[in-house]
Amino acid sequence: MIVIDSVLAMQQFGREHKGQIALVPTMGYLHDGHASLMVEAKKRAPIVVASIFVNPTQFGVNEDLDSYPRDLERDKRIAAGAGVDVIFAPKASDMYPAGYQSWVNVEGLTDHLCGASRPGHFRGVTTVVAKLFNVVAPKVALFGKKDFQQLAVIRRMVTDLNMDLEVVGMPIVREADGLAMSSRNARLSVEERVKALCLSRSLAAARLLFESGETRVERLKAAALAVIEAEPAARIDYLEFRDQDSLEPLAAADKRTLLALAVRLGEVRLIDNCILGEA
């Protein structure tokens, strides 16, 4: 495995290996969720490039850019173990040099959910992902459904801007107790780590009620909210039932309905989601 930290060197590598690269974009502090994307990437292309870049432009002013966990040496070990061939770890000053002025913006889909609670977030995400696609020139890129809206927004961008690559969405990887894996879990205190289970339990409560035949969103939402509200330390950013394609609100749920939530525990904001009809 090699580590490339210069944008120009990465671009040259991408050019030389055109058609052979699967890209897994990450912000590092890798866990088994990231590793699952890397393992699948290796099945889809001979060369796996994992980018590790805590992208400053997708963080709001009062968000956790400075406290986001970072450990490149640890990441190298995990990436090598997951079959990564190249780590691309650019500096922010190389990705956004002085005079930088260009942005990619997906409209509509980004009005909802995390787009509403984190203004400017998706503009940063789509811009950096478009840049990574231009630099690495992958034939396929893999993203987790943990960030369901991000995946939808990136698919929209790739379609709308005629980007020549395949986008693959991968299932959410969870800890044994149900907590969705996230780099931000490392920032939870021991007490908060226990309380964080309210997210996956909330999804489970809604799904159970749906499986019993309830389709009224009002009722399903009440069941999901009750689980979070029983945890006084948890502050709800949003908890919404949405059409999984448009992300628009719904009155009645079906098997394809997305339940997405964002919850704060202390300083840490966690997200999770499920499709009601999927296990």
Least distance between ligand AMP and beta carbon 170 (Å)? 6
Which window, 43-51, 172-180, 228-236, 249-257, contacts ligand AMP (CB under 6 A)? 172-180
Nearer to ligand AMP, 71 or 214 (CB): 71
Give the whole-angstrom CA distance, residue 141 versus residue 128: 13
Work out the angle at residue 133's Cα, subtended by the Cα atoms of residues 19 and 100, and round it to the nearest 5 degrees: 145
Q: Which residue has the tokens 């630099």?
A: 135
Beta strands in the chain (DSSP E): 2-4, 21-26, 47-52, 86-88, 140-144, 166-170, 234-242, 258-265, 268-275
Q: Is the dihedral of CA 119, 58, 144, 146 positive or negative?
A: negative
For this structure, is 34 an active site residue?
yes
Which window, 15-23, 169-177, 192-200, 264-272, contacts ligand AMP (CB under 6 A)? 169-177
Number of alpha helices (DSSP H) and beta strands (DSSP E) in the chain: 10, 9
The correct pick among 10, 37, 209, 220 for binding ligand AMP (CB under 6 A) is 37
The correct pick among 14, 33, 115, 124 for binding ligand AMP (CB under 6 A) is 33
Which window, 8-16, 62-70, 180-188, 259-267, contacts ligand AMP (CB under 6 A)? 180-188
Nearer to ligand AMP, 145 or 242 (CB): 145
Q: Where is 227: in which H helix or E strand?
A: helix 217-229
Chain residue whose CB lies nearest ligand AMP: 144
Exactly one of 17, 31, 34, 121 is catalytic; name it. Answer: 34
Q: Is the dihedral of CA 178, 182, 183, 185 positive or negative?
A: negative
Binding to ligand AMP, residues 92-151 (CB under 6 A):
143-144, 146-147
Least distance between ligand AMP and beta carbon 198 (Å)? 17
Residues of this chain that interact with ligand AMP (CB under 6 A) are 26-27, 33-34, 36-37, 143-144, 146-147, 170, 172-173, 180-183
